[in-house]
Chain A
Amino acid sequence: MSEMRDILKDTVTRLFTDLVTRETLGDAETGTWPDALWNACAENGLTLALVPEEMGGAGLGWADSFVIARAAGHHGPPVPLVETMLGSWLLSEAGLEIPEGPLTVAPVRTDDNLQVGGNAVSGTAKAVPWGRQAGHAVVLSNGQIALVALNSSMVTENCNIAREPRDTVNFDNAPLIASAPTSLPKDGLQVYGAMFRAAQLAGGVARCLDETVQYAGDRIQFSRPIAKYQVIQQYLAAMAGHMASAGAAAEMAFRAADRGDPRFEAASAKVVTGDAAGNATSTAHQVHGAIGFTYEHILQFTTRRLWSWRAEFGAESRWAEEIGRQVAGRGADAFWPDLTARQSGMVA
């Protein structure tokens, strides 16, 4: 890892360790906005990590930003950090000014039909992350990136399994603050959203492993820590494999984004990290036993996020099907040359 990324990793780890406590996580589920946490993210340049310095951002590339997104998955800060990273990047790419405060993105789901036209956005978007708390939404539709102010009359509250806000937003001819054409495909938000969720999933799986290794070392049964039993060691070793593959898959996608279109790598990462999340959550809970099934224990803040994130911006099956159709269309003799060429960075 580069020195830059090491420093970044230390910074975000310290920030989240201090400010994303069990209390913060619990309070957020009952509607408390963690002001100190959000301000710290903004002041440290995390929210505008991908925005060029001349536009007021940190000017990081994707490979560096991966460190932030993965740490966000590890600690689960209950704020739209990665959504603001994505939204502000989209605005900066389109040459639009970035407003203060938390951003969200829409549409998250492919079957939501938003129309941008005549200086307004119409249509309804479901499962919009932090819709009630984000001041603005960055909308990608009709080949346009558009910025829209959100207000409470547009939002119907809902949430995912982790009780993170996932609201229905009825745009109903909401006026555009600004808009500009984009070369991203119609479902470009899904691609980049999937990539961010993959990084969060990788971080969350690593957290599951950390918690479970710790618990297995502490928990004594039959006069020994359960970590001393071979069956538990075998479970944890398999989980470590899933942790490692999730991290590799997600990082591969972010690095691909630095080279060009990361669509294939983002799709692969969402499949691999989603599969890893399924495996890791089961093992983590099995090893933790009954205590892990309580609201009191910290583990469930991570596992409920993993089950939510793996479904958002396209589940494993959605992205696997896309890859599979692509591979089938290119024929059996092409998949290996295609893969080696992409991974060598020879094809953007």
Chain B
Amino acid sequence: MDSLYFEPCELPQEAEVLRGEIRDFLADNLDPYSPEVRSRSWAGGDPEFSQKLGEAGFIGMRFPKKYGGHERNAMERYVVIEELLAAGAPVALHWIADRQSGPLLLNYGTEKQREMCLPGVAKGETYFCIGMSEPDSGSDLASIRTKAVKVDGGYVVNGTKIWTSEAHRCHYMIALFRTDSEVEEKHKGMSQFLVDMNTPGVTARPIRNMAGEEMFNEVSFVDAFIPEDMLVGEEGKGWQQVLSELAFERSGPERYMSSHILLHALIREVSQNPTERSAVAIGRLIAHLATLRQMSLSVAGMQDAGQDPSLAGSVVKDLGAVYEQDMPKIAHELVGADPQLMGGSDFEKVLAYVTQATISFSLRGGTREILRGIIARGLGLR
């Protein structure tokens, strides 16, 4: 299966120089955040941190300089984001803008859209959310029903988006709407829009998750007017554009590093007096971590070379989610801690949070079943 070969990719020297810089930055700026806060990984956000990170030049790293970017290569950006994840930095607010919305606007957006959004993104001040899922359309994304109807000078939108991470704190949404309800083929007739979250008729309502956080939202559109120059790319080409956006969304190291702070806490917990059982369990995790990192680097290398990383990225996301999700179970088995939400050691608090959060790791950004469907297609089975 040559299509599933992961060409080894080593980081260039300039990327390793950057690693030293981002580590210094993190050493200076992460003190205020407890292990429990850090264990939220890229689901935890702090505006002040995003701003400092932007100021230091670590956001929008691949954007052109004229939009406030830094014209770095994919491998340099890779080093920075994996160090942010390894440290548990609170990156949630700018993460999506930096990872996929910015690159999407660079691929398909107009000059006006880029100038309007990208400098703020690179400063760590402008946040984006993803308007894909709807109440009746999750894995079957092409069945979305939220409609954008053409009127004079723009579109009027009615419908609902859901599970929209941080929508209540974001400035913009890249939304997928149906612009043509007449077409037979459901993958056609969809378009992407740049939506200002302050638009009258657009309302984000946080949905409390099982861990007690207000992170994802329901976003309703009631006769919301979207100016025509906020169409992203071509009308009717939304599906193809979304697929290339998903390639950015699914292929990064956050798809295997979301439990990294628990791994750190677990090693701290057992390293004083490792038993044979705990040494075997930790060693197995590290062996798989080393391999996933190698595969993830390979995907970054493919992206850098302009190849389509969708299939390889799906493999890493699928394997990565299994690895991340095993972590709380292994920690529970090895330590037998009794996590209590109102107190306890750092380890217990981290375990309590990650135990709940891991549920979402094989759901968000494409379920395990959808990813395996993509892999099965890569095997020629469908």
A residues at B contact (CB < 8 Å):
1, 206, 209-210, 213, 216-217, 227-228, 230, 232-234, 236-238, 240-241, 243-245, 247-249, 251-252, 255, 264-265, 267-269, 271-272, 275, 316-317, 319-329, 331-333, 335-336, 339-340, 343-346
Question: Which listed residue, A210, A325, A345, A346, touches B1 by the CB 8 Å rule?
Answer: A210
Query: What separation, in Å, do the CA atoms of A329 and B8 have in the docked complex?
Result: 29
Interface residues of B in 1-56 (CB under 8 A from A): 1, 4-8, 10-11, 16, 19
With contact pairs A1-B5, A323-B283 given, residues A343 and B290 touching in the complex (Cβ less than 8 Å): yes
B residues at A contact (CB < 8 Å):
1, 4-8, 10-11, 16, 19, 82, 86, 260, 264-265, 267-268, 270-271, 274, 276, 278-284, 286-295, 297-298, 315, 318-319, 369, 371-376, 378-382
In the complex, what residues of B have CB within 8 A of residue A265's CB?
A: 290
Please tell me if the beta carbons of A340 and B19 are within 8 angstroms of each other in the complex. Answer: yes
12 contacts between A and B (CB under 8 A): A230-B369, A233-B373, A240-B1, A241-B318, A245-B295, A320-B284, A323-B287, A324-B281, A328-B278, A331-B268, A335-B264, A343-B11
With contact pairs A240-B1, A268-B287 given, residues A327 and B318 touching in the complex (Cβ less than 8 Å): no
Max chain B Cβ within 10 angstroms of own Cβ: one of A213, A236, A244: A244
Please tell me if the beta carbons of A248 and B284 are within 8 angstroms of each other in the complex. Answer: no
Query: What separation, in Å, do the CA atoms of A289 and B86 have in the docked complex?
Result: 43
In the complex, what residues of B have CB within 8 A of residue A255's CB?
A: 8
Please tell me if the beta carbons of A317 and B315 are within 8 angstroms of each other in the complex. Answer: no
Please tell me if the beta carbons of A213 and B16 are within 8 angstroms of each other in the complex. Answer: no
With contact pairs A320-B284, A328-B271 given, residues A244 and B10 touching in the complex (Cβ less than 8 Å): no
Please tell me if the beta carbons of B381 and A217 are within 8 angstroms of each other in the complex. Answer: yes
Please tell me if the beta carbons of B268 and A241 are within 8 angstroms of each other in the complex. Answer: no
Question: Which listed residue, A213, A264, A275, touches B381 by the CB 8 Å rule?
Answer: A213
Query: What separation, in Å, do the CA atoms of A236 and B375 have in the docked complex?
Result: 9
Query: What separation, in Å, do the CA atoms of A232 and B381 have in the docked complex?
Result: 9
Q: Which residue of A lies closest to B16 (CB)?
A: A344
- Known contacts A244-B5, A275-B284; 7 additional CB pairs below 8 A are A213-B381, A228-B381, A245-B295, A271-B284, A327-B267, A332-B267, A333-B264
Q: Which residue of B lies closest to A242 (CB)?
A: B319
Please tell me if the beta carbons of B375 and A237 are within 8 angstroms of each other in the complex. Answer: yes
Please tell me if the beta carbons of A234 and B369 are within 8 angstroms of each other in the complex. Answer: yes
- B interface SS class: helix
In the complex, what residues of A have CB within 8 A of residue B86's CB?
A: 336
Please tell me if the beta carbons of A319 and B10 are within 8 angstroms of each other in the complex. Answer: no
Please tell me if the beta carbons of B291 and A1 are within 8 angstroms of each other in the complex. Answer: no
Q: Which residue of B lies closest to A1 (CB)?
A: B7
Question: Which listed residue, A252, A317, A328, A331, touches B290 by the CB 8 Å rule?
Answer: A252
In the complex, what residues of B have CB within 8 A of residue A346's CB?
A: 16
Query: What separation, in Å, do the CA atoms of A320 and B274 have in the docked complex?
Result: 13
Query: What separation, in Å, do the CA atoms of A1 and B382 have in the docked complex?
Result: 28
Please tell me if the beta carbons of B372 and A234 are within 8 angstroms of each other in the complex. Answer: yes
In the complex, what residues of A have CB within 8 A of residue B374's CB?
A: 237
Question: Which listed residue, A234, A249, A321, A344, touches B11 by the CB 8 Å rule?
Answer: A344
Report the minimal beta-carbon distance from A283 to chain B, rounded to whole angstroms. 12
Please tell me if the beta carbons of B376 and A236 are within 8 angstroms of each other in the complex. Answer: yes
With contact pairs A237-B318, A241-B315 given, residues A248 and B283 touching in the complex (Cβ less than 8 Å): no
Please tell me if the beta carbons of A245 and B286 are within 8 angstroms of each other in the complex. Answer: no
Closest 3 CB pairs of A and B: A324-B283, A324-B279, A323-B283
Please tell me if the beta carbons of B6 and A236 are within 8 angstroms of each other in the complex. Answer: no
In the complex, what residues of B have CB within 8 A of residue A267's CB?
A: 283, 287
Please tell me if the beta carbons of A238 and B372 are within 8 angstroms of each other in the complex. Answer: yes
With contact pairs A244-B315, A249-B294, A321-B276 given, residues A237 and B376 touching in the complex (Cβ less than 8 Å): yes
Max chain B Cβ within 10 angstroms of own Cβ: one of A238, A322, A328, A344: A328
In the complex, what residues of A have CB within 8 A of residue B369's CB?
A: 230, 234
In the complex, what residues of A have CB within 8 A of residue B293's CB?
A: 339, 343
Query: What separation, in Å, do the CA atoms of A236 and B292 have in the docked complex?
Result: 19
In the complex, what residues of A have CB within 8 A of residue B294's CB?
A: 248-249, 252, 343
Report the minimal beta-carbon distance from B350 to chain A, rounded to whole angstroms. 12
In the complex, what residues of B have CB within 8 A of residue A327's CB?
A: 267, 271, 282-283, 286
Query: What separation, in Å, do the CA atoms of A249 and B323 have in the docked complex?
Result: 15
Please tell me if the beta carbons of A240 and B287 are within 8 angstroms of each other in the complex. Answer: no
Please tell me if the beta carbons of B267 and A335 are within 8 angstroms of each other in the complex. Answer: yes
In the complex, what residues of B have CB within 8 A of residue A230's CB?
A: 369, 373
In the complex, what residues of A have CB within 8 A of residue B19's CB?
A: 340
Please tell me if the beta carbons of B295 and A244 are within 8 angstroms of each other in the complex. Answer: yes
In the complex, what residues of B have CB within 8 A of residue A269's CB?
A: 287, 291
Question: Which listed residue, B10, B271, B276, B319, touches A332 by the CB 8 Å rule?
Answer: B271
Q: Which residue of A lies closest to B368 (CB)?
A: A234
Please tell me if the beta carbons of B379 and A236 are within 8 angstroms of each other in the complex. Answer: yes
Max chain B Cβ within 10 angstroms of own Cβ: one of A213, A247, A264, A321: A321
Max chain B Cβ within 10 angstroms of own Cβ: one of A209, A252, A275, A319: A252
Query: What separation, in Å, do the CA atoms of A48 and B359 have in the docked complex?
Result: 51
Q: Which residue of B lies closest to A338 (CB)?
A: B286
In the complex, what residues of B have CB within 8 A of residue A227's CB?
A: 381
Report the minimal beta-carbon distance from B298 to chain A, rounded to whole angstroms. 7
Report the minimal beta-carbon distance from A341 to chain B, rounded to whole angstroms. 9
In the complex, what residues of B have CB within 8 A of residue A319's CB?
A: 283, 287
In the complex, what residues of A have CB within 8 A of residue B10's CB?
A: 343-345
Query: What separation, in Å, do the CA atoms of A304 and B16 have in the docked complex?
Result: 43
Q: Which residue of B lies closest to A233 (CB)?
A: B376
